[in-house]
Amino acid sequence: MKAFRHAAPIASWALLCGAGLVACTGMRADPAAQRVTVEGRTYLVSALTAGTWIASSPTAGPISTTPAGRAALLQAIEQHSGCKVTDVDYSRGGMQLDAQVDCASRLKN
């Protein structure tokens, strides 16, 4: 019986550690996301669908909602997608910018 006395605390500890590791993997960036730097700010930009792109901070914090920050985010999405942003909205509590893009009228460089 002595051996079973420590089994419950060890199992609880292992379960807690496993839950912590699973939570950490949820904070990783989307593997398809690309780092884009605009005016000294780095963002993760990726396609959600053919007409929807998202931009987020590479850290677990909120993204800039200032006019300059928003302009940088739009520029990052347009640079990476090669499409014109037509509509935007912040989501996930300010952690992400969702952008609708029009790829029929590609940006002219």
56-97 pLDDT per residue, tens: 988 888 888 889 888 888 988 998 899 999 999 999 998 999
Q: Over the stretch 13-25, which tens digit does the pLDDT of each residue have? A: 555 555 444 444 4
In this structure, is residue 2 part of a structural domain? Answer: no
Q: Let me know: does 43 contact 55? Beta carbons within 8 Å.
A: yes
Residue 85 CA to residue 99 CA, distance in Å, equals: 6
Output the pLDDT for position 77.
Answer: 92
Q: pTM of this prediction? A: 0.64
Output the pLDDT for position 42.
Answer: 85
Whether the CA torsion 94, 79, 49, 26 is positive or negative: it is negative
In this structure, is residue 82 part of a structural domain? Answer: yes
In this structure, is residue 38 part of a structural domain? Answer: yes
Owner of token pair 């199992």: 11
Residue 99 CA to residue 90 CA, distance in Å, equals: 9
User: Which residue range is the domain that position 96 belongs to?
Assistant: 34-102
Closest CA to 55 of 10, 9, 88: 88
